[in-house]
Structure 1
């Protein structure tokens, strides 16, 4: 099954733009061939087919509206590419460099104007200047001849309106690219640092990478042939709720941005963001009367009061000022490679700090109720179980002080702090059992069929899931 979200959409647009197929015929072919259009590539999930139909219609609407103001534009099939050749290999051992840009390409009949459309999975959003400038540079100097001007157009798959449009002349692009893009490209090709993280899933260096902790993390789980995966507790939670939701939301990264999230989720996110702002670069202990963050201030009154009560309770558990170092940004995402299963497990602590020679992974859980006590802590909060596996695999990389895991529980009426030792063999064994039970069915699954249920009401991909929509419709009828 395809894991390239935009693959079916791009193939559909090729038919419309280069084969002059009517939009309705393209949609029929998209459904009939499951997004393959007869080519030798994996078929798409039923949910991705429905998403691709929406995205195709949105793109065509945006393009036809845009073309009304620029009727001279025609699609370009061949990628634009800037090639730099050396007579001999340079200090990096390279004799040929290429710059290209992925997207949809258009030009006027006289080639005085070129456009590069950059696609994203949600509504169109502003891109960093260096991104649009690099795209414009490829459009301007990656084809035959040089146009007078280049436009970079931003398209989001959930919106029928493209934009904003960034326009530059070729002379402007040459000067600005030399100043801003060239130094960044040199930095990239010169870079040799290793930063284990989400990109490990596609890196050919992984099997022998000295910076990536590797171990047989789940010895009881049988191996399953397939591509390398990156899995987090969020992935496992989504899969347990519904395999289709996991595939669409976590693997393909599609979601309904218009869906209103539940109140507990909004409160928890606002509390987490406030604590992250306070703890980043700070050395002062949080106090009950500290001003809330902007996310808390935007909550409805009842939810804002709940968040403020939780933040006040945190003051008793705040680790500052007895903190020697705080990790932030990409260094807070910790990974470990299960070399036998070829799975890169990853997790982002709510706070990762060093006290003395000991690193501490802290999870913060917000709730109106106490945790259940009829189940173990690792089963009740699987994030802790995965943290145990990741830290146990990374033990040889850590400082002599080792590491520990903390669970900070915040409620409006109280708080608690519990610790887990990732060096404890009993904790490791239980963590392997907890995570193994979640991972094994996921690795075997190739269909990711939907499992309609109560979770459909707040599902971020229900819009493209026919069984989920039918389930909710049937339940509304029975309730009435």
Structure 2
């Protein structure tokens, strides 16, 4: 196994390069080493190779069906379109999860409607190809999208989005700059006059023109904005553990990830390299299908967030901003809105009024007393379990060093009913065994320390706040319980490939029930039931990109 720094290995690479337009869009938020490795098509790291699942890429399936329908003359009539669509669904969707099949059928119909609307707005467009590319000799810039053209030189590149088309943003500008350049440089019979970049939202057939410029303006914009971004991606930069770890082909050898080997308690890896957080396992334990459709595939969701979830987001936004100050939260900070000196942070007046009672309770248990040093507020923590071949993520609410120099990892949860005791608190809030297990597996995961950290759970109700604590250094019973809890929750998830639903009363408020065939029937016969009032885990990792 090579001991050479990965960045040096990347610099010495002399093979083929390929940049996707989506890489340019997401590059600023990604680890520099991840981006440099992704661009290098044939780069591998000694001793480890990322393993991929065999399920088809959902957006790729949708695109393949659309392309086949464009080329099928039967689609000129409604009856012919339905016949062709049925054939293509049967051909391409055999290996998809039942929930994805339902979404794919919906998405194809939405795309065809959007196609008709775009032609009505801009004139007839002829389908040309998919994945247009510019470059040669192992140096390529490519776009994952569908390309159309008009008879008078307008070239239109369409990007598919799982949810809704976005309005123009800085991120879509970066993607459009690179995509427009690639389309402009393609050799076609009709020279380009105008380059148009469109997003199509498959949830509702929405469309958005994010870029429309002349041929010359498109090339100039790329030289000013696109090419510098691509140069930055190619040059290996600093490590930056985060969202990109779950897709990185170097993760198993990355020195910036904590060594969490054995953290999940598995004896062998599952069928593919995966990523997981406490929120993932908590949701998976309720319904594997919901986890897969909502967290992994990121399908459109319906309904409003639960009261507990929405309340938690507001309170954590306030705590994040308040604790970043590094000073204790006081009663003056949470005085009534009419008084001077209150700290509302970024909360609106209505949000502040809604959660003020919880914030008042927090001031009685805020840990930022004299002698306390704030290490990080909501720090993302990433590691790799080599035995399970899983990237592990956590984001505690606060990490601080107490007056005795001990690192303390605090999780804060809101509820309407205080736990009866430490055992009840441990059982109700899965982030606690999750954090205990991480801390015991990698002592320095939350900051350099000589002793194992202490894990705290602050539970806040409108009336009071209580702090429960577990000493990872001395409380062997708590450690063994945490290891067993994580092992049992992770065991099925690590090996699952079918993501079967768990129908029940929860289907009535499940945010992806519209895509789940098992939930649809139950929805009409189940009695409505309020969701639990404990604040659920907050997600950290994102699923498949759109």
1:5 aligns with 2:63: no
1:153 aligns with 2:195: no
**Aligned partner of residue 498 in structure 2, secondary structure:** coil
1:399 aligns with 2:448: yes
Provide the residue aligned with 2:87 in structure 1.
29
Provide the residue aligned with 1:474 in structure 2.
525
Comparing 21-30 with 51-60, greater Cα deviation is found at 21-30
- Unaligned 5+ segments in structure 1 are 37-42, 86-95
2:277 to 227, 232, 235: 232
TM alignment of 1:65-214, pairs within 5 A? 65-83=117-135, 96-110=138-152, 112-126=153-167, 127-128=169-170, 129-144=173-188, 147-214=192-259
Task: Provide the rounded CA distance (Å) in 1 between the counterparts of 2:248 and 2:516.
Answer: 32
Contact 1:218–1:338 at 8 Å: present in 2 too?
yes
- Bigger RCO (CA 8 Å, 6+ sep): 2
Matched positions, count:
452
How many Å apart are 1:54 and its aligned residue? 1.2
1:370 aligns with 2:418: yes
Q: TM-score, normalised by structure 2?
A: 0.76
1:278 aligns with 2:322: yes
**Aligned partner of residue 230 in structure 1, secondary structure:** strand
Task: Provide the rounded CA distance (Å) in 2 between the counterparts of 1:8 and 1:78.
Answer: 13
Contact 1:136–1:173 at 8 Å: present in 2 too?
yes
Task: Provide the rounded CA distance (Å) in 2 between the counterparts of 1:142 and 1:411.
Answer: 61
Contact 1:149–1:167 at 8 Å: present in 2 too?
yes
Task: Provide the rounded CA distance (Å) in 2 between the counterparts of 1:141 and 1:359.
Answer: 56
Over the aligned positions, Cα root-mean-square deviation in angstroms equals 2.8
**Aligned partner of residue 474 in structure 1, secondary structure:** coil
How many Å apart are 1:240 and its aligned residue? 1.1
**Aligned partner of residue 123 in structure 2, secondary structure:** coil
Provide the residue aligned with 1:264 in structure 2.
308
Task: Provide the rounded CA distance (Å) in 1 between the counterparts of 2:372 and 2:182.
Answer: 47
Task: Provide the rounded CA distance (Å) in 1 between the counterparts of 2:160 and 2:350.
Answer: 31
Contact 2:143–2:182 at 8 Å: present in 1 too?
yes
Provide the residue aligned with 1:92 in structure 2.
none
**Aligned partner of residue 58 in structure 2, secondary structure:** coil
Task: Provide the rounded CA distance (Å) in 2 between the counterparts of 1:469 and 1:297.
Answer: 39
How many Å apart are 1:394 and its aligned residue? 3.3
Contact 1:244–1:451 at 8 Å: present in 2 too?
yes
Comparing 306-315 with 60-69, greater Cα deviation is found at 306-315
Contact 1:202–1:228 at 8 Å: present in 2 too?
no
How many Å apart are 1:298 and its aligned residue? 4.5
Task: Provide the rounded CA distance (Å) in 2 between the counterparts of 1:100 and 1:250.
Answer: 28
**Aligned partner of residue 249 in structure 1, secondary structure:** helix
Q: TM-score, normalised by structure 1?
A: 0.85
